[in-house]
Amino acid sequence: MTQDVYPVPQELCDCTLCTDEQYIEQYARSIHDPDGYWGEIAGTFEWFKQPTKIKNTSFHKDDFGIKWFEDGELNITVNCLDRHLKQGRGNKIAYIFEPDSPRYPSGSVTFRELHDRTCQLANALRQLGIQKGDRVAIYMPMIVDAAVSMLACARIGAIHTVIFGGFSAQSIADRVQDAQVKLIITADEGHRGGKHVPLKANVDQALKLPGTNSVETVLVVRNTHAAVNMQMPRDRWFDEVTRNQPVECEPERMNAEDPLFILYTSGSTGKPKGVLHTTGGYMVYAAHTHRMVFDLRDDDVFWCTADIGWITGHSYIVYGPLCNAATTVLFEGIPTYPDVRRTWQIIDRHRVTILYTAPTAIRSLMREGDENVKLSERTSIRLLGSVGEPINPEAWRWYYEVAGDSRSPIVDTWWQTETGGIMISPLPGATALKPGSATRPFFGIKPELVDAEGKTLSGATEGNLVITDSWPGQMRTIYGDPQRFFDTYFSTYPGTYFTGDGARRDEDDYWWITGRVDDVINVSGHRIGTAEVESALVAHPHVAEAAVVGFPHELKGQGLYAYVTLNAEVAESDDLRTELVKLVRTTIGPIATLDVIHWAPGLPKTRSGKIMRRILRKIAEGELGALGDTSTLADPSVVDHLVSTRSAD
């Protein structure tokens, strides 16, 4: 492990929101007096009714509950929009829109325009019968109307659930059914990397699947102007229903604990779960982390490259930056189209000051060589961020030295869909950096390491990462399944929130996330549950059984390695292999692309029939000498067979 330390740049010490001394003092306060700390932060927002009760939480079975600011009343869009208009910032740019193709002009939207468009859509939604508490799905390209759609829902208290534009019809249908979605907002098509994504056609297909009858209306944004099937009266054009609406819309009065959105994410078992975030705590946490971690300044141009279909987009493209009146780049495309210089050109074109991206993107740009980067100036950059998976020290150094010209600190931010916002991260003006370490906990966050039995570990060591007390941005439940919420996160190590990650704490109390310790695979920063992939595979008539594990992948962080047992009499073939890869892609979406299919006449199982994933992981990783004890297996020869048929590369 590296011993390199990168101190806080001298110039930052005078103009940062938080120095090291302040971090230490305020962190201690946030832990000892959470009510005082978070009450004060909450006071910087606009509430219809200021909260007087701050924290009311317990992770214990008997009195389990998570409530923050519970008597507060607010509307998050008032904080994202109206508040800035009142403060004379209506003409500040909220979004700089950069289209997929650089041949099209970029655009911008001021806070005033964003407010007006949000209100128009909110009025239209109300007219279409959407009320507080109704669920609205958003299946959109990365365009301004995607953010407008989220905000319009929040304006009227509807609960949005954004579905990533790369997900399949089946995935849309699963989510629509689980959330009993009443209205879907989509677009005719999206542009991505020069290709057209048939969003409306996918929605049409999804709504033919069983369990989707709850959908009454589909609003369609004209984006590429491609011809799409409009099924009247269900389908309505977005521009037609919004055009004549007033640009003012009375914001719904929300309790702090009223739901704001549901976002589906993969777990280690079963179908994706609907992570539910509420209004007050989420707002305070997303905005406060955004301001502090990125050491925000009024003239910043912030660019988070995530899609709004992920939590990163929710917290750091929409709610956090808008609450902070920041100017944000919204990019429709991908970093490698039309070529690998795209990221750096966008930075120069819009004078981006903060770049927040994922290790997988960094590694793929690193592979293209330094020349492509050096063709750009990047003089506007003052801070770099990383999120989504552990960043290997080599990629960290390249990001720092080449992308950032050894000038800009890197904030390696560890968090999860469930946490709502950043949990462990450097603060640029306070924290000396170590490549590969997410460094120290954010205000109010109490991480701990426990061993397999749940015993707390002290000192420099490695273990399972738990959080021992609540923070405002924490998810409140799994939509429709509070028992699963408790069981998934609070029963493994009673009294604590279990993250599913492993971590190491070093002698300086710095945190190093080592990756998932459960059956969740992190492919290019996207979570994929092994169970989901396995159930897609066994849906094929020739497949008897399947087990999927992750393995180290040079670009994606982790790749998907599937062991597949075919039915008797079915021959292994490359055609079948191709068919299975395609099946998983169409069931889940292109992010679930199998890297390896290993034909397995049998899977290693215990005598009670449990698949020994530990062994499958080792074989996938190529660590054939470290398989451990196989004597408890029902049939140890299965392992020998898998080892001997593992392909060499």
Contacts to ligand WT7 by CB under 6 A = 265, 311-312, 386-390, 412-417, 438, 499-501, 513, 515-516, 522, 525, 527
**Orientation of helix 279-293 relative to helix 34-42, angle to 10°:** 90
State the nearest-atom distance from the C-beta of 521 to ligand WT7, in Å: 10
Question: What is the signed CA dihedral for 441, 446, 448, 452, rounded to 10 degrees?
Answer: -120
State the nearest-atom distance from the C-beta of 317 to ligand WT7, in Å: 12
Residue 414 annotated as part of some ligand binding site: yes
Residue 538 annotated as part of some ligand binding site: yes
**Contact in structure between 240 and 232 (CB atoms under 8 Å):** no
Residue 388 annotated as part of some ligand binding site: yes
**Contact in structure between 9 and 409 (CB atoms under 8 Å):** yes
Residue 34 annotated as part of some ligand binding site: no
Residue 309: alpha-carbon gap to chain centroid: 8
Q: Which is nearer to ligand WT7, 342 or 527 (CB)?
A: 527
Report the C-alpha gap between 513 and 501 in whole angstroms. 7
Q: Which is nearer to ligand WT7, 45 or 415 (CB)?
A: 415
Q: Which is nearer to ligand WT7, 217 or 289 (CB)?
A: 289
636-647 in b/e form (b: 16+ CB < 10 A) is eebbeebeeeee
Q: Which is nearer to ligand WT7, 23 or 415 (CB)?
A: 415
State the nearest-atom distance from the C-beta of 525 to ligand WT7, in Å: 6
State the nearest-atom distance from the C-beta of 272 to ligand WT7, in Å: 11
State the nearest-atom distance from the C-beta of 77 to ligand WT7, in Å: 23
E strands, 206-258, are 217-221, 235-237, 254-255
Residue 195 annotated as part of some ligand binding site: yes
Residue 516 annotated as part of some ligand binding site: yes
Q: Which is nearer to ligand WT7, 157 or 473 (CB)?
A: 473
Q: How many CB atoms lie within 10 A of CB 600?
A: 22
State the nearest-atom distance from the C-beta of 409 to ligand WT7, in Å: 15
* φ, ψ at 613 (rounded to 5°): -65, -30
Q: Which is nearer to ligand WT7, 68 or 414 (CB)?
A: 414
Residue 344 annotated as part of some ligand binding site: no
Residue 288 annotated as part of some ligand binding site: no
State the nearest-atom distance from the C-beta of 132 to ligand WT7, in Å: 27
State the nearest-atom distance from the C-beta of 515 to ligand WT7, in Å: 6
Residue 451 annotated as part of some ligand binding site: no
State the nearest-atom distance from the C-beta of 315 to ligand WT7, in Å: 8
Residue 104: alpha-carbon gap to chain centroid: 28
Residue 412 annotated as part of some ligand binding site: yes
Q: Which is nearer to ligand WT7, 122 or 411 (CB)?
A: 411
- Write the DSSP string, 315-347: IIIIIHHHHTT-EEEEE-S-TTSS-TTHHHHHH
492 CB-near residues (< 8 Å, 6+ apart) = 454, 498
Residue 336 annotated as part of some ligand binding site: no
State the nearest-atom distance from the C-beta of 436 to ligand WT7, in Å: 9
**Contact in structure between 596 and 523 (CB atoms under 8 Å):** no
State the nearest-atom distance from the C-beta of 597 to ligand WT7, in Å: 25
Closest among 350, 101, 97, 94 to 224, alpha carbons compared: 101
Q: Which is nearer to ligand WT7, 130 or 146 (CB)?
A: 146
State the nearest-atom distance from the C-beta of 183 to ligand WT7, in Å: 26
Closest among 171, 112, 191 to 526, alpha carbons compared: 171
Report the C-alpha gap between 188 and 226 in whole angstroms. 6
553 CB-near residues (< 8 Å, 6+ apart) = 523, 559, 595
Note the residue count of the chain: 649
Residues facing residue 496 across a β-bridge: none
Q: In terms of DSSP bridges, do strands 383-387 and 354-357 run parallel, antiparallel, or are they unpaired?
A: parallel
Residue nearest to ligand WT7 according to CB distances in the complex: 417
Q: Residue 378 region, left (φ>0) first, then alpha (ψ -120 to 50), else beta?
A: left
Residue 192 annotated as part of some ligand binding site: yes
Closest among 647, 581, 578 to 619, alpha carbons compared: 647
Q: Which is nearer to ligand WT7, 141 or 388 (CB)?
A: 388
Residue 253 annotated as part of some ligand binding site: no
Q: Which is nearer to ligand WT7, 305 or 312 (CB)?
A: 312
Q: Which is nearer to ligand WT7, 373 or 411 (CB)?
A: 411
Cis peptide bond upstream of 338, omega within 30: yes
Residue 231 annotated as part of some ligand binding site: no
Residue 524 annotated as part of some ligand binding site: yes
378 CB-near residues (< 8 Å, 6+ apart) = 344, 347, 348, 403, 404, 405
Q: Kindly tell me the burial class for residue 528, based on how many C-beta atoms sit within 10 Å of its own C-beta (0-12, 13-18, 19 or more).
A: buried
Q: Which is nearer to ligand WT7, 125 or 411 (CB)?
A: 411
Known binding positions for CoA: 192-195, 312, 524, 585
Known binding positions: 192-195, 312, 388-390, 412-417, 501, 516, 524, 527, 538, 540, 543, 585
Known binding positions for ATP: 388-390, 412-417, 501, 516, 527
Known binding positions for Mg(2+): 538, 540, 543
